Amino acid sequence: MNTSTTNKPRQESDRQGEKKWYSALLARPEIGPLGVMILLFCMLGYFSIPEGEFSLNPFSGEGFNALGIRNNFRVIAQLGIVALAAGMLIIAGEFDLSVGSMIGFAGGCMAMILKWGFAVVIPYVSFVGGFHFEGFQLFEIRDVSPLLAILITLCMTLSFGWIQGWVIVKSGISSFIVTLGGLFFLRGLTEVSYRAFNRAPDQTAGSTTVTDLPDIKNIINVPGLGEMERDAAKALPNDQLLEILSNVPASTVAKLTERLSYINEKVATLKTEINSTKMIETLEKSLAGAKKSGNDSMVEILTKKIEAGVDVPAVTAKVVTDIDIAKAYIDTIVTARPVANFFGGDIMEPVFNWLYYTVDWNVNNFGNIFAKGMYSALMIWGLIAFICYFILSKTQAGNWIYSTGGNLNAAKANGVPTNKVKIALFVNTAFCATMFAACQVFEVNTADTAKGNLKELEAIAAAVIGGVVLTGGFGTIGGIILGTIIFGIAKEAFFYIPGIDGSFYRVFLGAVLVTAAFTNENIRKRIMGNI
């Protein structure tokens, strides 16, 4: 009896057979997320174009203008920092649900240390005046630098990450349960700490927000006046501003004057165009009223005026003054707090200046520069992504991570230090959460208990959408990056689609998440030869 070759069972040797040219491409876990990402980019580019305008250029809409790109990639980069750590932990077969709470805890630690200093206090029981607790202060640091604040915070967060990992590998309890306990513990500890340190004498409960932090990244060393915030320097009396300008090299003054003149001319030109547009709109409204009232003579007059075009007086460009030049020079002074600027400042500023002064693209409706640059979180995300890629793809540690998540017993039998691998990855999630918190604290100069809320679930979702299999042993850094971009862009794209509630993006992401989970498992089985 002949059996059709189409019904022949798949053999192990079939894995070595000749494959179609596209088979390897379709087997990649990133191929699906890449298609979804391209779709979302097209949606955001098309639907963000103002209503009534037609353009084939996706960068002409609000989603992909300079400010849109800056803001979109801020959200993506911050989520991407923790998604990388969560993804690598899932590849090793574990979860960390405490990441979001760790972000709030780390941000609170940093903000409180920067505002009130740091002290080590040993509590003890005292019976003087009744039973109560007192504290013996070992030492205190009142003025804490940004670097020291980050290092102190890392000591606490990395220790907590290590403890969670140690408990999981030694007890055998599911990481889901242990880190769920960590989620509640850290969130509660954060709120208690906020209320204890941030309570006025006349209040029964303190605020859960730390505010009034100086803009540390914009503290500069003003010549002759010492350190002060950039905005405070630009608000100095005119005589002091002129004194600062007197010491600026002539070449710098000439360059600043040229740029300010260009900006003023750009503003004047756009104001003239706006006045012309308003005049035409006024005439068109008057024409519509004349037609409605049947005033034929007025209709004829207004029609001729509109056809001939309006001639509005050109707005005169503002004259550049020495005070303007002095303030522009203050903006060019390098920060005196490079660590704070590294986490909360801007990058790619020369590129965005080029887009404004040369390409004439980075311009807002008032003629001014639209966006100064990209947020530093994008650079930090890129650095962490490169390190994670190198470890996972180019080192023995990467093989250990894959084998730990793929087959734990086999990994142990082959001498893989699975416990150390898992503990190291829990420490890594704590580190990435701290980096996320540092970006937020130094960027907006505030912190509150709501920071990081639900980020643990968003990070896991981004990793799964990017091709990471929840059972472990399968996934790539490139896929996690794609999944993060999909998550971030979806949050923006659906808010521009007319007739659809912006929160529909959650429905979309839910469907994509489940579909990705099924697809990832199918690809894993094909690669492993189980299909």
Query: What are the distances in angstroms from CA 106 to CA 69, 99, 325, 509, 517?
Result: 28, 10, 40, 28, 31
- Using the CB atoms, write b or e for 158-190: b if 16+ within 10 Å: bebbebbbebbbeeeeebeebbbebbebbbeeb
pLDDT of the residue at 5: 46
pLDDT of the residue at 441: 94
Task: List all residues 6 or more positions away from 349 whose beta carbon is below 8 Å from its beta carbon.
Answer: 372, 373
- Asked if residue 435 and residue 305 are part of one domain, the reply reads no
Contact (Cβ atoms closer than 8 angstroms) between residue 42 and residue 58: yes
- Asked if residue 387 and residue 366 are part of one domain, the reply reads no
In this structure, the number of other CB atoms found within 10 A of the CB of residue 343 comes to 25
Separation CA 230–CA 512 (nearest Å): 45
- Asked if residue 407 and residue 354 are part of one domain, the reply reads no
- Asked if residue 481 and residue 390 are part of one domain, the reply reads yes
Task: List all residues 6 or more positions away from 332 whose beta carbon is below 8 Å from its beta carbon.
Answer: 252, 256
Query: Could you tell me where the DSSP H helices lie in 92-121?
Result: 99-116
- Choose the final residue of a domain: 326, 355, 373: 373
- Asked if residue 504 and residue 364 are part of one domain, the reply reads no
Tens of pLDDT, residue by residue, the chain (531 residues): 444 444 555 554 454 555 565 556 555 666 667 777 777 777 777 776 666 566 666 666 677 788 888 988 999 999 999 999 999 999 999 999 999 999 999 999 999 999 888 888 787 777 777 777 777 777 788 889 999 999 999 999 999 999 999 999 999 999 999 999 999 999 999 988 888 777 666 555 667 788 888 999 999 999 888 999 999 999 999 999 999 998 899 999 999 999 899 888 888 888 888 888 888 888 888 888 888 888 888 878 888 877 777 777 888 888 999 999 999 999 999 999 999 999 999 999 999 888 888 877 777 767 778 888 999 999 999 999 999 999 999 999 999 999 999 888 999 999 999 999 999 999 999 999 999 999 999 999 998 888 888 899 899 989 988 888 888 888 889 989 999 998 888 877 777 776 677 677 788 788 888 887 777 777 676 666 655
pLDDT of the residue at 502: 67
In this structure, the number of other CB atoms found within 10 A of the CB of residue 477 comes to 25
Q: Let me know if residue 233 belongs to a domain.
A: no
Contact (Cβ atoms closer than 8 angstroms) between residue 442 and residue 94: no
Residue 241: which of 326, 324, 325 has the closest Cα? 326
- Choose the final residue of a domain: 355, 373, 391: 373
- Asked if residue 366 and residue 473 are part of one domain, the reply reads no
The pTM score is: 0.85
Cα radius of gyration (the chain): 30
Contact (Cβ atoms closer than 8 angstroms) between residue 520 and residue 469: yes
pLDDT of the residue at 134: 75
Q: Let me know if residue 285 belongs to a domain.
A: yes
pLDDT of the residue at 322: 92
Q: Let me know if residue 434 belongs to a domain.
A: yes
Looking at residue 469, its amino acid is V
Separation CA 231–CA 320 (nearest Å): 20
Q: Let me know if residue 169 belongs to a domain.
A: no
Q: Let me know if residue 107 belongs to a domain.
A: no
- Asked if residue 405 and residue 454 are part of one domain, the reply reads yes
pLDDT of the residue at 211: 83
Separation CA 75–CA 59 (nearest Å): 19
What SS3 state is found at 14?
helix
Count structural domains, the chain.
Answer: 2
- Asked if residue 369 and residue 325 are part of one domain, the reply reads yes
Separation CA 86–CA 481 (nearest Å): 12
Looking at residue 137, its amino acid is Q
- Asked if residue 321 and residue 381 are part of one domain, the reply reads no
- Asked if residue 448 and residue 330 are part of one domain, the reply reads no
| Neighbour-count burial of 129, counting CB atoms closer than 10 A to its CB (0-12 exposed, 13-18 middle, 19+ buried) | exposed
User: Helix/strand/coil (H, E, C) string of 58-87?
Assistant: HHHCCCCCHHHHHHHHHHHHHHHHHHHHHH
- Choose the final residue of a domain: 373, 391, 419: 373
Q: Let me know if residue 358 belongs to a domain.
A: yes
Residue 489: which of 74, 72, 82 has the closest Cα? 72
Long-range contacts of the stretch 301-307 (C-beta < 8 A, 24+): 306/280
Q: Let me know if residue 387 belongs to a domain.
A: yes
Contact (Cβ atoms closer than 8 angstroms) between residue 326 and residue 280: no
Query: What are the distances in angstroms from CA 229 to CA 37, 46, 233, 243, 486?
Result: 41, 41, 6, 18, 37
pLDDT of the residue at 17: 54
| DSSP at 123 | E
Q: Let me know if residue 182 belongs to a domain.
A: no
Which residue segment(s) compose the domain that 297 sits in?
242-335+346-373
- Asked if residue 385 and residue 361 are part of one domain, the reply reads no
Helix 504-528 / helix 477-493 crossing angle, nearest 10 deg: 160
- Asked if residue 456 and residue 389 are part of one domain, the reply reads yes
Query: What are the distances in angstroms from CA 399 to CA 85, 415, 416, 423, 478?
Result: 16, 12, 9, 16, 17
